[in-house]
A and B are shown apart, each in its own frame.
Chain A
Amino acid sequence: MAQSTAHRRLLQEYRALTNNPGPEGTPFEGGVFPAELRFPKDYPLAPPSMKFLGEVWHPNVYPSGLVCISILHPPGDDPNHYEHASERWSPIQSVEKILISVMSMLAEPNDESPANVEAAKMWRDRRGEYEQKVRDGVRRMLGL
């Protein structure tokens, strides 16, 4: 069966993915967040994009669900020059590393370049309200 490099590498990574418990004590704890990763044809040279399918209230997640995080940016693509090349995508990164980065992003938002300005404001100024909103979203997602 003729498989592309991208396909083979993805199968290998998919297989390697096991349970990755996230950090504790965040308002996102205990939640399940389905997301869609879209891989370009020339993966792993180019990074995939990641989009949450449900509602995620977070400074670095666009209201559309698109995740804005340095590991998903191709090197040399940063117009603002505050990300190091080492933080951005390269073929030595992997889906697992993306998911780990996203988990730590959920726990510790980066409000330097917010994708959701309202969420960033709330996170900065009204932390209690932000955490409650996130918790409510997590429960709504589980149908509770």
Chain B
Amino acid sequence: MANEQVNVPSLLVILVLSGLIIRYLFFTSPAGAAASAAGRRGGGASQLAATLRAREAQVDRILQMFPQADRRTVLWDLQRNGGNVAATTERILAGRMETPPITFQPPPPGAANGASNAQSQSAAKEPDKPAQPDLIMRYNLQDKITPGSAESPASEATSSARTGTGSGSGKGKAWSSNREERQSLLQKRRDQMILEARRKMEAKIAAEKAAP
């Protein structure tokens, strides 16, 4: 009886082990062979680019969580643990990140992105840059800027008062239960705010120039 009791677990162990060995012998090696064959056929570069892209996405994910983390350190850590994002996250949280050796030179951030223009990260960042310079361009207010700053505030105030009474409230409280109307009212208010700020700033600059 004792003999049999020992046998069941050992049988299981043997089964699992043989399963692993069979899997190792028959399933991984063909895949590896196919991959290396693909590499020999000239697909090596694209494969490298794919891993780079994947790594890049992982780094981006981690940097989104920890903007203070160093890119190179994160890359180094990911490289060492084979791209395990969770492990790297744990290490950052525990403060156990190691500084990479000087010999570790990761590709610049743009390298993998350049290879894949479809990546959402780069696509999201690119329109940000040209839109940054100023609000007039961003919200297409060029034609609303009037040089005669003395007259325009008055006319705008009357027009907004008219729309304000139309929707049943004062100038400041632009709120409508209708969704589209509300959106256009709020957009109008935003534009007015920017233009007014610009006018005030213009006046301030003019005053500064006149004073000294």
Residues of B in contact, count (CB < 8 Å):
26
**B159-212 at interface with A (beta carbon < 8 Å):** 172-173, 175, 193-194, 197-198, 200-202, 204-205
9 new A-B contacts, CB < 8 A, other than A54-B135, A66-B67, A142-B198, are A18-B172, A30-B200, A32-B135, A32-B193, A34-B135, A141-B134, A142-B134, A143-B134, A144-B198
A15 at the B interface (CB under 8 A): yes
Whether A32 contacts B137 by the Cβ 8 Å rule is no
A residues engaging B (CB < 8 A)? 15, 18-19, 30-32, 34, 53-55, 62, 64, 66, 79, 115, 138-144
> Could you give, for residues 77-112 of chain B, a 1 whenever the CB lies within 8 Å of some chain A CB and a 0 otherwise?
000000000000000010100000000000000000
CB neighbours (8 Å) of A31 from chain B are 197
Number of residue pairs A-B, CB distance < 8 angstroms: 55
User: If the complex has contacts A115-B67, A144-B201, are A34 and B134 also in contact, measured as CB distance less than 8 A?
Assistant: no
Among B136, B137, B200, B201, which residue has the most Cβ atoms of chain A within 10 A? B201
CA separation between A30 and B200, bound complex, in Å? 7
B residues engaging A (CB < 8 A)? 67-68, 93, 95, 128, 131-138, 145, 172-173, 175, 193-194, 197-198, 200-202, 204-205
CA separation between A64 and B129, bound complex, in Å? 10
Whether B205 contacts A144 by the Cβ 8 Å rule is yes
Whether B193 contacts A144 by the Cβ 8 Å rule is no
In the complex, the chain A residue whose C-beta lies closest to that of B203 is A30
Whether A139 contacts B201 by the Cβ 8 Å rule is yes
CB neighbours (8 Å) of A139 from chain B are 201, 205
CA separation between A97 and B175, bound complex, in Å? 20
User: If the complex has contacts A53-B131, A143-B134, are A32 and B194 also in contact, measured as CB distance less than 8 A?
Assistant: yes
The listed residue (A32, A66, A115, A140) touching B133 by CB distance below 8 A is A140
Distance in angstroms from A110 CB to nearest chain B CB is 15
The listed residue (B133, B138, B172) touching A34 by CB distance below 8 A is B138
Distance in angstroms from A95 CB to nearest chain B CB is 14
Distance in angstroms from B53 CB to nearest chain A CB is 21
Whether B136 contacts A142 by the Cβ 8 Å rule is yes
Distance in angstroms from B138 CB to nearest chain A CB is 7
Distance in angstroms from A60 CB to nearest chain B CB is 12
Among A140, A141, A143, which residue has the most Cβ atoms of chain B within 10 A? A143
In the complex, the chain B residue whose C-beta lies closest to that of A62 is B67
Whether B134 contacts A140 by the Cβ 8 Å rule is yes
The listed residue (A19, A34, A142) touching B201 by CB distance below 8 A is A142
In the complex, the chain B residue whose C-beta lies closest to that of A139 is B201
In the complex, the chain A residue whose C-beta lies closest to that of B133 is A140
